[in-house]
Structure 1
C-alpha cells in the first residue's frame, strides 16, 4: 500500500509524533519540542508556511492546544488537523504517537483551513444547540468536534473554531442531527 503524500509541512510536538506521522503519510515534519517552542522553530514554521503551507497537528490536550494557539497567532493561515482524544489515548498517556496509523491518516485528510466567509455563529447558537450551558454541553461539543474534524474545546474556543474555519450552518445542523442525544448512563 502506498502512503498518502501530504504537500504541506506537518507540525507536531515531539519525535515520537514525527515517527507516527511518517508511518501514516509521506510528508515533511517540524517538531516543536513541546511547550519549548523557540523563536528559531517559529521562524522555520513561518518559512514553511510561505513555501508550501503548514498543518498544525498537536496532541489533543492542554499543552497541545496552547502550542496550536501560539502557532496560529505567529503564523497566520496555517491549517489544522485534529485527532479525537479517544484515538490518542494509551493508558494514562495522551498523544499523537498513541494513535493508529489509520486514525492519523484520517485526521490529516480532514484538515480544516481558515476561511474567509463565516456563518457568524453566536453564543445564542451554542446555547440553542446545547453546546453551552447544558449538562450535556461538553459531550455534545466533543461529539460534534469529532464529526466535523475540528477537535474538542471549551465553549468559547469551540465557537471561535466554528467561525474561524468557516463551517456552514447546514454542516453543523447535519452533524448535530447525526450525533443525536447523549446515551443514558446506566446506574
Structure 2
C-alpha cells in the first residue's frame, strides 16, 4: 500500500486510482470542499503525506491551487489531458490504470526555496513561448517531465519550483524534438 494518501476530486476517481494501485484516497467533492473534508486531508497530510491528483482541466487546477495553499508540502501527480479523456469527458476517472501509475511515478513537490535555474529566455529559446507551436510543445514537455500542461508563466514556475534539473530538462527537450 502506498504510504501517502491520494487526493482526487470525486468517487469515480477513487475507483480508477484503486484499479491502478493499492492506496487510500480522499475525494474533495469538487471545488466546494467541506470543512470536514479539509480536516480529513489535513490529518492525512500531517500523518502520512498527500499526493494531489486532480483532473487536467481548469476546475482541477483551481482545486490543486486551493489545496497547495493549505498543504504546501503536498506532492503533485499529473495525468495528461489526452490520457484522461474518454467518452467525451475528461478526468482521472477516464484514465487507464497505466496512466495513473505513470503519473504517480513522476511525483513533484513544491519547494519553498525555488530555484531560478530556468528563465523566460529558456522558454523562448526552446520554442515554449512566442512560437506558433509553443502550447503543443509545453504540453508534450510537461508530459515528459511529469509537471502537466500550463501556460508559459505557470510552466516556468513549475520548472523552478518542482526541482527540475537542467540535465532532466535538456533530456526532455531532446525527447520532445525526437517526437516532433
Q: What TM-score does the superposition give when structure 1 sets the normalisation length?
A: 0.90
Does residue 31 (structure 1) correspond to residue 10 (structure 2)? The answer is no
Q: Which residue of 2 aligns with 1:84?
A: 80
**1:139/1:182 contact within 8 Å kept:** no
SS at match of 1:10: strand
Q: What TM-score does the superposition give when structure 2 sets the normalisation length?
A: 0.94
Give deviations 1:12-36, integer Å, cap 9, x for gaps: 0000000110111111111000112
**1:119/1:169 contact within 8 Å kept:** no
SS at match of 2:143: helix
CA RMSD of aligned residues (A): 1.5
CA distance in structure 2 between the aligned counterparts of 1:35 and 1:181, rounded to whole angstroms: 38
SS at match of 1:104: helix
CA distance in structure 1 between the aligned counterparts of 2:129 and 2:41, rounded to whole angstroms: 34
Q: How many residues align?
A: 179
1:130-145 equivalences under 5 Å are 130-145=127-142
Does residue 45 (structure 1) correspond to residue 35 (structure 2)? The answer is no
Q: Which residue of 2 aligns with 1:175?
A: 172
Out of 19-28 and 110-119, give the one that drifted further.
Answer: 110-119
Does residue 15 (structure 1) correspond to residue 11 (structure 2)? The answer is yes
Q: Which runs of 4+ in 1 moved over 3 A?
A: none
**1:140/1:182 contact within 8 Å kept:** no
Gaps of 5+ in 2: none
**1:119/1:168 contact within 8 Å kept:** no
